[in-house]
C-alpha cells in the first residue's frame, strides 16, 4: 500500500503545513479539557462551602489543581508508543517500590503506604494505578484478541501481584481501584462473556481470602455496612447523617453555604470523602444532575477517544483509564448515598486532597496523548 | 499460530466500548434514581429529620491506663490540667483577641507558634489551645474577664504526667498529640475525642491496652449547634493499667550509682525475665513532650553531646569486651575444644602461625600458664586468642547465638537494637568480604565487629545464672482493668539452650564467682560478705591503640576513654538478679562498672535476704588498693 503525501497533509494533526491552534500544538483535547476545567471549578465552589468558608483551603486545593493540570499537559506531550515502551519498566519499578514499602512498614510496625524520598513523600500505590493498565495493555498489544487462556492467565498474574501487595499495606480502597483497572483492560480486550461470569463467581469465592488479608479496622467497616447500629460514632452515623443531608436538599437544595447538615457539623469528613452530601444538600437534585452530567460527558469523551485510538495499546489503556475514573464516581456516590459500604475513595476533582488527583490527571494526559498523536492509516 | 486481525479487533473493541458506555449510563441512571428517591420521593421525611436534627453524637474519650511499678508506685498518671482554648469560627479578630488576652495571661512565642501550627491543622469550628497547663491563679484571672472574650474558654482535661521524669524517660516513653502519620495506623472512630497517643517506650508498645474504648454521648443542640443538654450516654471503657516488674527505687539507685558518667544499667530477674531496672543516663523530661515540646527545647535535647534522647540500655551497641569471656569459655567446653583443666601458656602476646602481628594481652608480662578459671578470673586475653583460634569462628558464633547475641531479645519495648554477632555469613552479607583468621582472634575477646546492647548482655547473663534458659526480658508483669481484681499476665517466652554437660556450666559459674570473690579476681574490690556474687569485668575500646603503643589513661581525652562493662548475678547459689552495667568512658570494668552493680545488688538483695531492718556488716572487704592494672581489653 502506498500513501499519497497530499492525503496525509490534509488530515494529520501534526502536519507542520496545517495552521495549528495552541491546543493542537500542545496535544490537548479541547472537549476533555473543557469538561475537566468545568468540573474542577465546580469542585472549588463546593469546597468553599464544605470547608466552612475557609478560603485558605480553597487556595491550597487550587494549587493542587494547577500542579495536576501541569502534569496532565506534560504527560500529553509523550507519544503513545513511548508510553508503551516504558510500560513494563514503570510496572516493574512500581511493584518493587510496593515491596520496599512493605519491608519498611514491617520495620516500622504499622500500616505503611508512603515512601519518604527526603524531599517528597510518595505513595507507590498511586503509580501502580497507572502502571497496571499500562502493563496489561503492553502485554496484550501484539497478542491476537480476544486473548487465549494462556495470555489471560499471564495477564491475571500481572494484575494480581500489585493488587495483593497493596491489599497487604493495608489499603483496600486502592487495591480495588487497581484491580478494576486490570479487569477493564481484560474486558475491553474481549474476553468471552462466559469467562466474565466465571470470574464473578471466582471473586465471590475469593471473598473469604480477602477477609483474611484485612486488618481489624477494615473488617470493622464491612461489619458496620452490614449493621450500621454497631458503630454509632463511626461509619453508621456518617451514613445516617449524609442521607439526611442529601434527602433534605430536595430538588433545588437549601442554597449554597446554607446547608444545615453541612454547616452545623452533622456531616463527617464533609470536605473530603463526604463532599457529595454537601453538594446534594445545598444545590439539590439539580446541582447533582449537573455534576453527574459533567462526569458523563468526560467519560463518554474518554470512551470515544478509546475507540478512535490506533492500536490495541491505546485502545485498551484509554478505555481502562476512563472506566476507572467512573469507578471512583460510582463508589464514592454509592457510599455517600448509602448504597455501598464506606470505602475511602474520594470524589474525583471535587474532594479536598491531592494524592489521587495527580494520578487521575496524568491518566487524562495519556488519553490526550493517545488522541492527538494519531497518524493517518489507510482504512 | 493466530494472526492479529486488526479490522476485526477494532470492531470487537468498538462493541465492548459501546457496552461499557451503556453500562456507565445505566449505573448513572441507577445512582440518579437513588438520589431521586432520597431527594424527591423521601424529601419530606428527610426535611423533618433535618429540622429535628438536634441530636449530635459526641465521643467521650476513655481515660488512659496508669502505669505502676512492682510495689504499686505510680509511674505515669493522668492529672487534671486547664488549658485556654479558642474556636476560630466564633472569634472575629483572632489576632486582636490574642493581643487583648495577653494582658491577663502570659502568651509567649512558643505558645503562639503552637497555636498557629495547630490552627492550620484543625477545622474552623474546632477549639485550638492557646495556653496549656494554666495554674489555678491564671485560670481564676481569666474567669473574671471571660465575658469579654466570646469564643475563648478554659477547658479541663486529663494530661499525662510522669512524676519520676528523667528516671523513667526511656522506659515509659511519652504520649504526644496524634499526628497525621499516627492516623494511618489507628481506628479513627475509637480515637475520636482522644488527643494524645503513645509515641515511644511502654506508652507506644502498650498503646492498644492503655488507650481503652471510646464512649458516646448523645447531646441535644440548639439551632446554631450549641449543646443544650445531654440525652444519653454510653460511658467509655478506661484503658487497662500496667503493673511492671520494675522497681522504681532500684531504677533510681542504678541511675545514682552511675554518678556523673553516662551509661546504662539493666537488671533482670533470671527466673522469669522480669526487668527490675532499665536505666539509661542521661535521660530527659518526658513531660515536656506531652503538650508539644517547643522547638527550642527540642533542639537543645538534640544538640546535647550526651544525647539524652538516646536509649543506651536498648539501642546502645557496645563491644562486649571481656564480658564475653565466660560465654566463649563455655563454648570452648561445650564444643569440646578445651577441657576445664586445659592450660595455655601466656607470654603476653599471641601470634597467628606465619604472621608477624602480635595480639597483645592487657598484661604486658603475660600470665604464664593459664587454665579457664584463671583466664576468666584474671581476664587473660592470650588464652582466649588461642581458644578462639582453635575453636574457629563458625563453632564460636553458632554457640554464642544460643545466648541471643546478634538478634533482638523481643522485650516489650519498641526500638531495640540487634547488635552484631560476627560470623562468616554476617560479614559476607554486610561487608561483602571473606572472613579473615585475625578477626576470629579479636572476636575471642569481644572486640572487632562484635556489638551487644546492655539488654542483650543482661539476658545472656541471666541464662548463665539460671542454668540455660534464655528468658525473654519483659517490663510489664500483668495488666489490670480498673476496679477489677483480676490480673491478666503477659505471656512469657523462654528458649532453652542445649546443655551438653552440666559440669561445664558449673565450672564457668565457679570461675565467674572467683572474679568477684576470689583473691585475684578483677572485681575483687566489690566482694561482699552478705552474699556471693558471680560476674565478669570488661572494657570496650573506643580508641584504637597502635601496635607498639600502650594505652595510657592520662594521655587519652575523656571522650576517647574506654567504656567500662560489668555483668553479674547473685546470690550464686540461688540467683535472683542478673545485671549488666555499661559506664561510658568509665575506664576499667572493675573500678567503675562493678561498684555500680554492687550498689544495685545490695539494694535489691539485702532486704530480701536479711529483711529490710537487718543491719549487716557489709563493707567491702579490704582489698589491696595498689595501682590497678587494666582489666582485660
Residue A372 lies in a domain: no
At B189-227, the pLDDT tens digits run 788 878 889 999 999 999 989 999 888 887 777 655 567
Residue B231 near residue B220 (C-beta atoms within 8 A):
yes
pLDDT of residue B364: 86
Nearest to B396 by CA among B355, B323, B337: B337
User: Which residues partner with B218 through β-bridges?
Assistant: B57, B232
pLDDT of residue A173: 79
Task: Flag the least confident range among A126-135, A161-170, A264-273, B446-455.
Answer: A264-273
Candidate from B16, B187, B192 with C-beta closest to A187 = B16
pLDDT of residue B623: 41
pLDDT at A266 over 80: no
For B185-201, give one letter per residue: b (16+ CB within 10 A) or e.
bbbebbbbbbebbbbbb
B558, pLDDT greater than 70: no
Q: Verify cis geometry, omega within 30 degrees of 0, for the bond prior to B7.
A: no
Taking each helix axis as running N to C, give the angle between helix B6-36 and helix A312-336, from 0 to 180 degrees, rounded to the nearest 10.
Answer: 10
- Can you give B469-501 as a three-state secondary structure string? EEECCECEEEEECCCCCCEEECCCCEEECCCCC
Q: Please check whether residue B332 is in contact with residue B372, taking contact to mean a CB–CB distance below 8 angstroms.
A: yes
Task: Give the position of cell 539494694.
Answer: B603
Cβ contact B32–A289 (<8 Å): yes
Portion of chain B with pLDDT greater than 90, in percent: 48
DSSP codes, B41-77? ITHHHHHHHHHT--EEEEEEPPPPPPEE-TT--EEEE
Q: What number is the average pLDDT over the span B47-51?
A: 84
In this structure, how many other beta carbons lie within 10 angstroms of the beta carbon of residue A256?
15
Residue B458 has pLDDT above 70, yes or no: yes
Least Cα separation, residue A19 to chain B (angstroms): 31
CA angle A107, A213, B193 (to 5 degrees): 70
pLDDT confidence of residue B140: 86
pLDDT of residue A113: 56
Asked if residue A74 belongs to a domain, the reply is: no
A chain contacts of residue B124, beta-carbon cutoff 8 Å: 51-54
Interstrand relation of B196-198 and B241-244 (parallel, antiparallel or unpaired): unpaired
Instruction: Answer whether residue A318 is part of any domain.
Output: no
**pLDDT band at A6, cuts 50/70/90?**
very low
- Give the mean pLDDT of chain A: 83
Q: How confident is the model at residue B7 (pLDDT cuts 50, 70, 90)?
A: confident
pLDDT digit string, tens, across residues B290-336: 877 877 888 888 888 889 999 999 999 999 999 999 999 999 999 99
For position B226, what pLDDT does the model report?
Answer: 65
Per-residue confidence at B609, pLDDT binned at 50, 70, 90? Answer: confident
pLDDT (mean) for B227-252: 88
- Residue tagged active-site, from B322, B379, B397, B528: B322
What lies within 8 Å, CB to CB, of B553 at 6+ separation is B561, B587
Place of cell 449530635: B56
Per-residue pLDDT of B17-34, as tens digits, reads 999 999 999 999 999 999
pLDDT band at B457 (very low <50, low <70, confident <90, very high): very high
List the single best residue of A145, A259, A312 to mutate versus B (max B Cβ within 10 A).
A145
Q: Would you say residue A96 lies in a domain?
A: yes
Q: How confident is the model at residue B125 (pLDDT cuts 50, 70, 90)?
A: low
pLDDT, residue A166, reads: 87
Number of independent structural domains in chain A: 1
Query: Does the pLDDT value for residue B89 go beyond 80?
Result: no
Q: Which domain holds residue A158?
A: 84-214
Nearest to A217 among B13, B21, B187 (CB): B187
Does some domain include residue A289? no
Residue B613: predicted pLDDT: 59
Per-range mean pLDDT, top range of A140-144, A291-295, B212-216, B315-319: A291-295
- Mean pLDDT for A285-310 is 95
What is this model's ipTM? 0.88
Set of chain B residues whose Cβ sits within 8 Å of the Cβ of A145: 4, 9, 12-13
- Separation of alpha carbons A373 and A369, rounded Å: 6
Mean pLDDT of A175-182: 90
Minimum Cα–Cα distance from A184: chain B residue: B20
The yes-or-no verdict on residue A369 having pLDDT over 90 is yes
Q: Which carries the bigger pLDDT value, residue B544 or residue B456?
A: B456
**Record: contact B17-A247, CB cut-off 8 A:** no
Higher per-residue pLDDT: B605 or A343? B605
Q: What's the confidence (pLDDT) of residue B243?
A: 95
> Which grid cell is A144?
491476537
Are A285 and B40 in contact (CB < 8 Å)?
yes
Answer yes or no: do A247 and B36 touch at CB < 8 A. Answer: no
| Cβ–Cβ under 8 Å, residues A142 and A309 | no
Q: Is A113 helix (H, G, I), strand (E, B) or coil?
A: coil
pLDDT at residue B82 greater than cutoff 80: yes
Domain for residue A346, yes or no?
no
Summarize the confidence of residues B584-600 as an average pLDDT.
88
Q: Picking from A227-241, A284-298, B438-452, which range would have the lowest pLDDT averaged per residue?
A: A227-241
SS3 B124: coil
Q: Which residue has the higher pLDDT, B397 or B620?
A: B397
State which of B49-53, B250-254, B358-362, B554-558 shows the largest mean pLDDT.
Answer: B250-254
Q: Mean pLDDT, to the nearest integer, of B567-590? A: 90
CB B255 within 8 A of CB B167: yes
Looking at residue A295, what is its pLDDT? 96
- Please list, in sequence order, all residues whose beta carbon lies within 8 angstroms of the beta carbon of residue A344, skipping any fewer than 6 positions away: A173, A273
A303–B17 C-beta distance less than 8 A: yes
Is residue B630 predicted with pLDDT exceeding 50? no
Residues of A with CB below 8 A from B39's CB? 246-247, 249-251, 280, 284-285, 288
Q: Which of B286, B300, B385, B395 is nearest to B344 (CA)?
A: B385
| B416 contacts B314 by C-beta, under 8 angstroms | yes
The distance of B594 to chain A (nearest Cα, Å) reads 36
Percent of chain B residues past pLDDT 70, beyond the cut: 91
Assess whether B322 carries a catalytic annotation.
yes
pLDDT category, A44, cuts 50, 70, 90? very high
Per the domain annotation, does A173 fall within a domain?
A: yes
What is the structure's pLDDT at A228? 56
Domains and CATH numbers, chain B: 58-137+155-244 (3.90.1310.10), 249-281+314-548+555-610 (3.40.710.10)
- For residue A107, tell me if it sits in a domain: yes
Question: Average per-residue pLDDT in chain B?
Answer: 86
Residue tagged 552474699 (cell numbers) = B531
pLDDT, residue A116, reads 56
**Residue-level pLDDT at B631:** 45
The predicted-structure confidence for B411-422, as pLDDT tens digits, reads as follows 999 889 999 999
Per-residue confidence (pLDDT) for residue A107, from 0 to 100: 44
Closest CB to B31 among A188, A292, A312: A292
Residue B234: pLDDT band (50, 70, 90) is confident
Reported confidence tier of residue A176, pLDDT bands at 50, 70, 90: confident
- Per-residue confidence at A11, pLDDT binned at 50, 70, 90? very low
Distance from C-alpha of B522 to C-alpha of B568, rounded to nearest angstrom: 13
Strand pairing report for B67-68 and B241-244: parallel
DSSP A94: H
| Residue of chain A whose alpha carbon sits nearest to that of B216 | A233
Q: In A, which residues are within 8 Å of B125 by CB distance?
A: 52, 265
Which three cell numbers, joined as nine digits, stand for A80? Answer: 503513545
Higher pLDDT, B88 or A137: A137
Is residue B587's pLDDT more than 50? yes
Chain B positions in Cβ-Cβ contact with residue A143 (cut-off 8 Å): 4
Distance, in Å, from the CA atom of B631 to the CA atom of B520, rounded to the nearest integer, reads: 11
Over residues B368-373, the mean pLDDT reads 91
Measured between CA atoms, the residue of chain A closest to residue B31 is: A334
- Residues B231-253, buried b or exposed e (16+ Cβ, 10 A)? eeeeebebbbbbbbbbbbebbbb
Residue with more model confidence, B292 or A217: B292
- Give CA B192 to chain center in angstroms: 28
Pick from A275, A201, A213: nearest CA to A238: A275
Amino acid at each position: 500500500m502506498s500513501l499519497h503525501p497530499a492525503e496525509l497533509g490534509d488530515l494529520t494533526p501534526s502536519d507542520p503545513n496545517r495552521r495549528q491552534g495552541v491546543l493542537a500544538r500542545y496535544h490537548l483535547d479541547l472537549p476533555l479539557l473543557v469538561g475537566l476545567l468545568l468540573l474542577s471549578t465546580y469542585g472549588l465552589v463546593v469546597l468553599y462551602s464544605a470547608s466552612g468558608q475557609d478560603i485558605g483551603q480553597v487556595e491550597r486545593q487550587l494549587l493542587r489543581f494547577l500542579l495536576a493540570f501541569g502534569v496532565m499537559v506534560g504527560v500529553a506531550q509523550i507519544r503513545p508508543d513511548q508510553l508503551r515502551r516504558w510500560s513494563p519498566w514503570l510496572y516493574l519499578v512500581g511493584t518493587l517500590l510496593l515491596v520496599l514499602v512493605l519491608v519498611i512498614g514491617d520495620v516500622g510496625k504499622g500500616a505503611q503506604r508512603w515512601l519518604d524520598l527526603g524531599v517528597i513523600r510518595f505513595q507507590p500505590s498511586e503509580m501502580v494505578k497507572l502502571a497496571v493498565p499500562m502493563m496489561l495493555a503492553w502485554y496484550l498489544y501484539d497478542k491476537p484478541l480476544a486473548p487465549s487462556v494462556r495470555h489471560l492467565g499471564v495477564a491475571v498474574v500481572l494484575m494480581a501481584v500489585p493488587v495483593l501487595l497493596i491489599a497487604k499495606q493495608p489499603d483496600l480502597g486502592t487495591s480495588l481501584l487497581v484491580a478494576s483497572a486490570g479487569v477493564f483492560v481484560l474486558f475491553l480486550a474481549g474476553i468471552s462473556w462466559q469467562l466474565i461470569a466465571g470470574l464473578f463467581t471466582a471473586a465471590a469465592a475469593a471473598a473469604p481470602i480477602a477477609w483474611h488479608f484485612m486488618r481489624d479496622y477494615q473488617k470493622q467497616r464491612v461489619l458496620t455496612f452490614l449493621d450500621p447500629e454497631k458503630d454509632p460514632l463511626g461509619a453508621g452515623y456518617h451514613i445516617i447523617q449524609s442521607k439526611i443531608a442529601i434527602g433534605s436538599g430536595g430538588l433545588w437544595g437549601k442554597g449554597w453555604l446554607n446547608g444545615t447538615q453541612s454547616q452545623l457539623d452533622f456531616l463527617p469528613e464533609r470536605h473530603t470523602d463526604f463532599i457529595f452530601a454537601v453538594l446534594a444538600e445545598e444545590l439539590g437534585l439539580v446541582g447533582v444532575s449537573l455534576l453527574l452530567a459533567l462526569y458523563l460527558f468526560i467519560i463518554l469523551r474518554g470512551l470515544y477517544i478509546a475507540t478512535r485510538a490506533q492500536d490495541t495499546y491505546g485502545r485498551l489503556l484509554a478505555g481502562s483509564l476512563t472506566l476507572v475514573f467512573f469507578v471512583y464516581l460510582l463508589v464514592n456516590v454509592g457510599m455517600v448515598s448509602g448504597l455501598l459500604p464506606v470505602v475511602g475513595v474520594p470524589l474525583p476533582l471535587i474532594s479536598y486532597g491531592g494524592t489521587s488527583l495527580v494520578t487521575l490527571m496524568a491518566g487524562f494526559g495519556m488519553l490526550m496523548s493517545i488522541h492527538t498523536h494519531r497518524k493517518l492509516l489507510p482504512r | 499460530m493466530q494472526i492479529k486481525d486488526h479490522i476485526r479487533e477494532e470492531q470487537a473493541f468498538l462493541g465492548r466500548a459501546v457496552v461499557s458506555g451503556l453500562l456507565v449510563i445505566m449505573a448513572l441512571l441507577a445512582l440518579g434514581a437513588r438520589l431521586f428517591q432520597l431527594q424527591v420521593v423521601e424529601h419530606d421525611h428527610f426535611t423533618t429529620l433535618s429540622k429535628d436534627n438536634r441530636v449530635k453524637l459526641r465521643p467521650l474519650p476513655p481515660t488512659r491506663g496508669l502505669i505502676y511499678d512492682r510495689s504499686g508506685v505510680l509511674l505515669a498518671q493522668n492529672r487534671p490540667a486547664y488549658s485556654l482554648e479558642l474556636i476560630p469560627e466564633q472569634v472575629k479578630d483572632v489576632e486582636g483577641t490574642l493581643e487583648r488576652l495577653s494582658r491577663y495571661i502570659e502568651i509567649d512565642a512558643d505558645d503562639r507558634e503552637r497555636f498557629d501550627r495547630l490552627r492550620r491543622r484543625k477545622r474552623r469550628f474546632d477549639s485550638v489551645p492557646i495556653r496549656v497547663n494554666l495554674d489555678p491563679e491564671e485560670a481564676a484571672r481569666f474567669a473574671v474577664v471571660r465575658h469579654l472574650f466570646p469564643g475563648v474558654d478554659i477547658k479541663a482535661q486529663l494530661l499525662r504526667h510522669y512524676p519520676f521524669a528523667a528516671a523513667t524517660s526511656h522506659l515509659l516513653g511519652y504520649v504526644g498529640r496524634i499526628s497525621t502519620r499516627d492516623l494511618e495506623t489507628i481506628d479513627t472512630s475509637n480515637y475520636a475525642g482522644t488527643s494524645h497517643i503513645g509515641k515511644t517506650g511502654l506508652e507506644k508498645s502498650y498503646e492498644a491496652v492503655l488507650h481503652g474504648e471510646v464512649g458516646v454521648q448523645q447531646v441535644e443542640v440548639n439551632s446554631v449547634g450549641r449543646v443544650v443538654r445531654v440525652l444519653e450516654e454510653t460511658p467509655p471503657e478506661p484503658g487497662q493499667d500496667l503493673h511492671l516488674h520494675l522497681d522504681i527505687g532500684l531504677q533510681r539507685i542504678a541511675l545514682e550509682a552511675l554518678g556523673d558518667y553516662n551509661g546504662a544499667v539493666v537488671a533482670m530477674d533470671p527466673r522469669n525475665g522480669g526487668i527490675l531496672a532499665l536505666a539509661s543516663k542521661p535521660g530527659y523530661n518526658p513531660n515536656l513532650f506531652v503538650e508539644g515540646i517547643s522547638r527550642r527545647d527540642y533542639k537543645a535535647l538534640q544538640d546535647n553531646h550526651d544525647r539524652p534522647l538516646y536509649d543506651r540500655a536498648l539501642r546502645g551497641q557496645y563491644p562486649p569486651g571481656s564480658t564475653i569471656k565466660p560465654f566463649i569459655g563455655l563454648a570452648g567446653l561445650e564444643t569440646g575444644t578445651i577441657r576445664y583443666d586445659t592450660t595455655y601458656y601466656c607470654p603476653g602476646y599471641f601470634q597467628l602461625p606465619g604472621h608477624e602481628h602480635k595480639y597483645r594481652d592487657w598484661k604486658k608480662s603475660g600470665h604464664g600458664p593459664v587454665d579457664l578459671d584463671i583466664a576468666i578470673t584474671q581476664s587473660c586475653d592470650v588464652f582466649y586468642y588461642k581458644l578462639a583460634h582453635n575453636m574457629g569462628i563458625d563453632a564460636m558464633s553458632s554457640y554464642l547465638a544460643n545466648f541471643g547475641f546478634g538478634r533482638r531479645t523481643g522485650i516489650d519495648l519498641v526500638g531495640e537494637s540487634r547488635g552484631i554477632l560476627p560470623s562468616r555469613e554476617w560479614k559476607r552479607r554486610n561487608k561483602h568480604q571473606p572472613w579473615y583468621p585475625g578477626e576470629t582472634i579479636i572476636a575471642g575477646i569481644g572486640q572487632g565487629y562484635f556489638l551487644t546492647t546492655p539488654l542483650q548482655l543482661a539476658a545472656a547473663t541471666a541464662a548463665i545464672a539460671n542454668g540455660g534458659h534464655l528468658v525473654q526480658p519483659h517490663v510489664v508483669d500483668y495488666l489490670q482493668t480498673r476496679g477489677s481484681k483480676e490480673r491478666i499476665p503477659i505471656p512469657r517466652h523462654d528458649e532453652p539452650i542445649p546443655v551438653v554437660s552440666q559440669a561445664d556450666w558449673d565450672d564457668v559459674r565457679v570461675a565467674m564467682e572467683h572474679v568477684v570473690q576470689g583473691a585475684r579476681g578483677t572485681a575483687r574490690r566489690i566482694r561482699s560478705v552478705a552474699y556471693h556474687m558471680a560476674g565478669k569485668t570488661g572494657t570496650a575500646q573506643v580508641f584504637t591503640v597502635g601496635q607498639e603503643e600502650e594505652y595510657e589513661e592520662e594521655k587519652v581525652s575523656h571522650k576517647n576513654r574506654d567504656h567500662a562493662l560489668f555483668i553479674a548475678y547473685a546470690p550464686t547459689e540461688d540467683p535472683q538478679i542478673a545485671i549488666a552495667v555499661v559506664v561510658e568512658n568509665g575506664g576499667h570494668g572493675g573500678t567503675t562498672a562493678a561498684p555500680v552493680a554492687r550498689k544495685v545488688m545490695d539494694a535489691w538483695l539485702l532486704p530480701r535476704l536479711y529483711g529490710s531492718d537487718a543491719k549487716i556488716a557489709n563493707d567491702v572487704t579490704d582489698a589491696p588498693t595498689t595501682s590497678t592494672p587494666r582489666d582485660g581489653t
